[in-house]
Amino acid sequence: MVELVYNIILKMNFIYNKGCDEMVYLTLNQLNDDSKAVVMNINGGSNLVKKLNALGIREGVVLTKESQSFLRGPVTVKIGQSKIAVGYGMAEKILVKLVDDR
């Protein structure tokens, strides 16, 4: 039952996310909801790298994108056990590569 409700909610919200999975490198906000990716590069200054690093977002780490708010809203990602919201501007600077786990 709980599983069912969970899937329905995922489906309902999917309509609002148009990502594209064809490209090899994507920015975090181009990634589809619920897809797994590995961080390839953080395209920003040392301050940004430091901030993201402190929260565990660093090159080589595998994350799952949870959701994206509409109109340049924040991206929520899951890394290990923690969930982190990354503002749109920052998410644009995080380059990731899709991990195919199917």
Partner 1 sequence: MKVLLFGNPNVGKSVVFSRLTGTSVTSSNYPGTTVEYTEGYLRRGDEVFHIIDVPGTYSLEPTNKAEEVAADMLDKGDIIVNVVDATNLERNLNLTLQLLERDVPVIVLLNMWDEARHKGIDIDKDKLEELLGVPVIPTVAVKGKGILDTINIITSYDFDNYKGIKKMSNEERWSYIGKIIAEVQKISDRKHTFSDVFDEITIRPLTGTLFAVFVLIFSFLLIRIIGEGLIAYVTEPFFNNIYFPFVNYLSSLLGGQGLFHDILIGHLIGGAIDFEQSFGLLTTGIYIPLSAVAPYIIAFYLVLGLLEDTGYLPRLAILMDNLMHKVGLHGFSIIPMLLGFGCNVPAVLAIRSLESEREKFIASTLTAITIPCMSQIAMIFGLLGSFGMKYIVYLFIILGLVWFVLGNILNRVIPGFSSDLLLEVPPYRIPSIATILQKLWLRLSGFFREAIPFVLLGVFIVNILYITGIMGLINHLAGPLLSRIFSLPEEAITALLMGFLRKDLAMGLLVPLHLSAKQLLVASIVLTTYFPCIATFSVLLRELGMKNMLKATLVMFITVFLVGGFTNLVFHEEGLSLNGWIIIILLILLVKKFPEGKENRLEL
Cα Dmax for the chain: 47
Residue 31 interacts with partner 1 (CB under 8 A): yes or no: no
Cα-based torsion angle of the residue sequence 82, 8, 73, 101 in order, rounded to the nearest 10 degrees: 50
With respect to partner 1, which residue has the nearer C-beta, 20 or 71?
A: 71
Sole binder of partner 1 in the list 18, 24, 70, 100 (CB under 8 A)? 70
- What is the DSSP-derived secondary structure letter of residue 30? G
In whole angstroms, what separates CA 28 from the centre of its chain? 5
Residue 62 interacts with partner 1 (CB under 8 A): yes or no: no
Min dist CB 96 to partner 1, Å, is: 16
CA distance 100 to 102: 6
With respect to partner 1, which residue has the nearer C-beta, 23 or 57?
A: 57
With respect to partner 1, which residue has the nearer C-beta, 86 or 96?
A: 86
